[in-house]
A = this chain, B = another copy of it.
Amino acid sequence: MFTSYFIKHMTYTKATAFSPEQQEVARIAKVLSHPARIAILQHLAEAKTCISGDISSALPLSRTTVSQHLTELKNAGLIKGEIDGLTVCYCIDQETYDKARQLLEGMLAAIKSSCCTDTCC
């Protein structure tokens, strides 16, 4: 790609320079990095029945914005939605969710301060 020679600031492109695991963890964290998406996940978990699109009525956001967040959650595989006539049933995709959770928690568990015995910090 000769074009890359002319790119001055490779904004946002450096993410690909890290390990696949680091990218994957960051990707999962990004999905969880907005309170609305946390709220949606919690709402779906609490709901006893499949929830249609009136999730927006339970949130301080417009239907359009909620739909956008739902799309992101769906793209990440954390939830799945199937059309049921007039409404769409959104549910947590437990399989993908558990995998994502496992990957994230595994990374978090591996982070442990190994320095700072007494000389510094």
Contacts and interface: CB of A to CB of B under 8 A. Distances in A.
Contact of A84 (B36, B94, B120): B120
Interface residues of A, number: 58
B36 A18 contact: yes
A37 B119 CA distance: 25
B112 A45 contact: yes
B92 A38 contact: no
A60 B17 contact: yes
Contacts of A23: 35
Given A104-B108, A105-B105, A112-B94, A38 B14 contact: no
Given A49-B115, A108-B101, A114-B48, A89 B32 contact: no
